[in-house]
Amino acid sequence: MKKNLNMVILDDYQKYFHQMKNDKRLPENINLTIFENHFNNSKDLVYHLKKYNIIVGIRERTRFPEKVINKLPNLNLLITTGLKNASFDLDASTKNNIVVSGTPGSGEGPVDLTWGLIISLVRKIHIEDKFVREGKWGHFIGPSLSGKTLGILGLGHIGKLVSKVGLAFGMNVISWSENLDQISAKKYGVTYVHKETLFSKSDILSIHTKLSDRTTGLVGEKEISFMKPTSYLINTSRGPIIKEQALIEALNSNKIAGAGLDTFDVEPLYPSHPLLHTPNTLLTPHIGYVTKEAYKAYYEGILENVISFLNNNPTRVLNPEVLSKLYG
C-alpha cells in the first residue's frame, strides 16, 4: 500500500487550483490542501506547512529562504509555477534533500498588462470611468503616444515585445541595460542609449529587467531625478528593482507625472502602505503573468511534476545536484 502524502498549494487567490481536488489524475495517496490567503510571516508559514511532503508556490508570492526550508522536516518536493523563482533557496533545498521543480507557462502576459497600465495611466481611463459613473463628463486631456519616447530598461524577451508595440504606436523607442549594445538594440528597431539618457529622455519608462543582486535598487533617487516631470514610470517586472521610498517621494512632490505598478517590495500590500495613498498611481496586484493560458500550463505542470516525482523520475528539476543524493 502506498504511503499517504500531504500536498499543499499556496496563495490560490483566484481559487483556480481547487479543481485539482477532483482531478482523477492526481494520485489517490495524495491528500491535497489549498490555501487561498497569504501567510504574512515565516513563523505562520512554518507552523502551517510542517506536515506537508509536497508544497506548491505560485510564482514568488511566498518566499522559501533557508530559515524556512530548514524547519520543514517532511518536505520532499517543492514546486514553483514557472521555471525560475528567485524566492526559493535552491542550495538550502539541496542540503535538505528537497527536489525543487518548475512548470511551463508564464508567457507574454506582462506585455499586455504593461500596455494596459501605460494607456490607462496617460489617458486617465480608470479615473474617467469613475467620473462617468458619478455623472461627471470629461476631465482630462491626455497625451498621444505617437511621437513620444518609450524607454525600455532591459531589452529581453518581454522588453522586446513591449518595444514592438511602442513602435507600432509610432513611438521612438530607446533602451539601456548593462549587457546591451547599439548593434543588438538596432535589430529590434530600438536605439541604445546610456543609462542617464534613458531616464532623462523617456516620456514613459518601462522596467523589464530581471531581479538580481545587480538590479536590486537599480532605480533610485538619482535615476528618478533625471526623469522629466511629465514622464511616467511603469514596473511589471519585480518591485525591489525600484527603491520604493524614492518613488513615493517623487510622486508626492510631483517630480514625475505618475507610476503604473504591478509589483512591490512586499506583497500583498498591507492596508496602510504609503503607495495606496500616493497620488498619480495605478496599482495592480502582481497579475502580469495571471492569464488563463499561463494558469492552465501551471496546472498541468504541477500534476506532471507530482506524478513523475512519485515515479522516482522528477521532471523540470531546478536543483539537479539533489538527484545524485537521492537516486545515486
- Can you give the residue ranges of every domain in the chain? 5-106+291-327, 109-283
Count how many residues are written for the chain.
Answer: 328
Which residues does the annotation mark as catalytic? 238, 267, 286
Q: How far is CA 53 from CA 33, 60, 96, 98, 193, in A?
A: 12, 20, 13, 10, 50
Q: 162-182, pLDDT tens digit by residue?
A: 999 999 999 999 999 999 999
The mean pLDDT value for 14-18 works out to 96
Fold match flag (5-106+291-327 vs 109-283):
yes
Report pTM: 0.92
Can you give the pLDDT at residue 1?
44
Mean of the pLDDT values across residues 185-213? 97
Among 98, 170, 153, 114, residue whose Cα is nearest residue 322: 98
Structure confidence at residue 284 (pLDDT) = 98
3-state helix, strand, coil in the chain (%, to 5): 35, 15, 45
pLDDT of residue 270: 92
Structure confidence by residue, pLDDT tens digits, 18-76: 999 999 999 999 999 999 999 989 999 999 999 999 999 999 899 999 999 999 999 99
Which grid coordinates are listed for 304? 506532471
C-alpha cell at 25: 489524475
Note if the bond before 268 is cis, omega within 30 degrees. Answer: yes
Question: What integer is the mean pLDDT of 323-328?
Answer: 90
* Second-level CATH architecture of 109-283: 3-Layer(aba) Sandwich (3.40)
Q: What is the DSSP secondary structure assignment for residue 30, as one 8-state letter?
A: E
pLDDT tens-digit readout, 103-142: 998 789 999 999 999 999 999 999 999 999 999 998 999 9
Q: Would you call 159 helix, strand, or coil by DSSP?
A: helix
Q: What CATH number has the domain spanning 5-106+291-327? A: 3.40.50.720
CB of 98 closer than 8 Å to CB of 151: no
